[in-house]
Structure 1
Amino acid sequence: MTWRLPRGLPIFWQTLLLVLASLAASQIITIIMFVVMEPPRPDFNRLGDVAEALSGGSGEHGHRERALSVRYTAAAPVAAPGMTSDPAFTARLAWRLKVPADRVRLYFEPDQRASFGDDRLRRRDRLVPMRRGEPIFFNTVVAAVETADGWRVVKTPPRPLIAAWQKRMMLWFALSALALLPLAWWFARRLARPIRRFADAAERMGRDPLAPPVAEEGPAELRQTAHALNLMQERLAAYVAERTAMIGAIAHDLRTPLARIAFRIEAAPDEVRDKVQADIDQMRAMIAATIGFVRGSTSSREIHDVDLGTLLTGMAREEADMGRPVTAGTIEPLHVRGDPLALGRLFQNLIDNGVAYGGGVALSLEREGREAVVRVADEGPGLSEDKLERLFQPFERGDPSRNRETGGIGLGLTIARSIAQEHGGTLTLHNRDGGGLAAVCRLPCVEQV
Structure 2
Amino acid sequence: MMRAYRRLSILWQTLLLLMAALLLSQAISITLFLSMKPPRADFNRLSDIADALAGVRDKDPRDRVLTWRRQSAAPAPEPGMRGDPRFTAKLAERLGTTPARVRLFFEPDQRGGFPYNGRLENGVPMRRGEPMFFNRMIAGVAAPDGWHVVETPKRPIVSAWQRRSLLWFLVSALALVPLAWAFARALSRPIRRFADAADRLGADPAAPRAPEEGSAEIVRAGQALNAMQARLAAYLDERTAMIGAIAHDLRTPLARIAFRIEAAPDPLRAKVQADVEQMRAMIAATIGFVKGLHTGAREPVALDALLRRIAHDEAEIGRPVRLEEIEPATIPGDPLALERLVQNLVDNAVTYGGEAALSLRVQDGTTLLRVADRGPGVPADAVERMFAPFQRGDPSRNRDTGGIGLGLTIARAIAQDHGATLSLLNQPSGGLVAELRFGR
TM-score by length of 2: 0.88
**Is 1:198 aligned to residue 194 of structure 2?**
yes
Please say if residues 423 and 435 of structure 2, whose CA atoms lie closer than 8 Å, have aligned partners that are also in contact.
yes
Distance 2:43 2:59 in 1: 11
Give the counterpart letter for 1:24 in structure 2.
L
Deviations 1:407-431 (A, max 9, x none): 0111100110110011000111123
Which of 261, 269, 279 is residue 265 of structure 2 equivalent to? 269
| 1:136 CA drift (Å) | 2.9
**Is 1:140 aligned to residue 136 of structure 2?**
yes
Over 3 Å counting, the alpha-carbon distance change for 1:295 and 1:209 in structure 2 is same
Distance 2:215 2:85 in 1: 73
Give the counterpart letter for 1:179 in structure 2.
A
| 1:444 CA drift (Å) | 3.4
Deviations 1:340-361 (A, max 9, x none): 1111111111111122112222
Deviations 1:90-148 (A, max 9, x none): 44322212223455454542451123xxxxxx5446652426x6433223334454667
Which of 140, 161, 171 is residue 157 of structure 2 equivalent to? 161
Paired residue secondary structure (1:128) = strand
- Within 5 Å, give how 1:7-406 maps onto structure 2: 7-55=6-54, 62=61, 67-68=66-67, 70=69, 83=82, 85=84, 87=86, 89-101=87-99, 103-108=101-106, 109-110=108-109, 112-115=113-116, 122-124=117-119, 127-130=124-127, 134-145=130-141, 154-297=150-293, 299=294, 301-406=296-401
Distance 1:3 1:256 in 2: 64
Distance 1:51 1:362 in 2: 97
Give the counterpart letter for 1:295 in structure 2.
K
Partner of 2:435: 440
Over 3 Å counting, the alpha-carbon distance change for 1:258 and 1:366 in structure 2 is same
| 1:222 CA drift (Å) | 0.5
Deviations 1:25-68 (A, max 9, x none): 21232233224433211122121222234446677963656525
Give the counterpart letter for 2:418 in structure 1.
H
Give the counterpart letter for 1:114 in structure 2.
P
Over 3 Å counting, the alpha-carbon distance change for 1:366 and 1:103 in structure 2 is closer
| 1:199 CA drift (Å) | 0.5
Which of 374, 396, 411 is residue 416 of structure 1 equivalent to? 411
Distance 1:60 1:138 in 2: 18
Q: CA RMSD for the aligned pairs?
A: 2.9
Partner of 1:118: none
Kindly, what percent of the aligned residue pairs are identical?
57
Comparing 153-162 with 279-288, greater Cα deviation is found at 153-162
Over 3 Å counting, the alpha-carbon distance change for 1:45 and 1:387 in structure 2 is same
**Unaligned runs of at least 5 residues, structure 1:** 116-121
Comparing 313-322 with 391-400, greater Cα deviation is found at 313-322
Comparing 4-13 with 300-309, greater Cα deviation is found at 4-13
Distance 2:24 2:202 in 1: 44
Paired residue secondary structure (1:139) = coil
Distance 1:302 1:418 in 2: 16
Please say if residues 427 and 439 of structure 1, whose CA atoms lie closer than 8 Å, have aligned partners that are also in contact.
yes
Please say if residues 74 and 103 of structure 2, whose CA atoms lie closer than 8 Å, have aligned partners that are also in contact.
no
| 1:227 CA drift (Å) | 0.6
Please say if residues 319 and 325 of structure 1, whose CA atoms lie closer than 8 Å, have aligned partners that are also in contact.
yes
Over 3 Å counting, the alpha-carbon distance change for 1:416 and 1:64 in structure 2 is farther
Over 3 Å counting, the alpha-carbon distance change for 1:4 and 1:86 in structure 2 is farther
Please say if residues 52 and 66 of structure 2, whose CA atoms lie closer than 8 Å, have aligned partners that are also in contact.
no
Distance 1:85 1:197 in 2: 77
Please say if residues 77 and 144 of structure 1, whose CA atoms lie closer than 8 Å, have aligned partners that are also in contact.
no
Distance 1:300 1:324 in 2: 28
Over 3 Å counting, the alpha-carbon distance change for 1:321 and 1:65 in structure 2 is farther
Distance 1:29 1:336 in 2: 52
Comparing 30-39 with 150-159, greater Cα deviation is found at 150-159
Distance 1:60 1:68 in 2: 15
Please say if residues 21 and 176 of structure 2, whose CA atoms lie closer than 8 Å, have aligned partners that are also in contact.
yes
Over 3 Å counting, the alpha-carbon distance change for 1:171 and 1:76 in structure 2 is closer
Over 3 Å counting, the alpha-carbon distance change for 1:86 and 1:358 in structure 2 is same
Partner of 1:119: none
Paired residue secondary structure (1:329) = strand
Distance 2:424 2:395 in 1: 18
Please say if residues 69 and 157 of structure 1, whose CA atoms lie closer than 8 Å, have aligned partners that are also in contact.
no
| 1:80 CA drift (Å) | 6.5
**Unaligned runs of at least 5 residues, structure 2:** none
Please say if residues 302 and 329 of structure 2, whose CA atoms lie closer than 8 Å, have aligned partners that are also in contact.
yes
Over 3 Å counting, the alpha-carbon distance change for 1:76 and 1:365 in structure 2 is closer
Give the counterpart letter for 1:391 in structure 2.
M
**Count of residues paired in the alignment:** 435
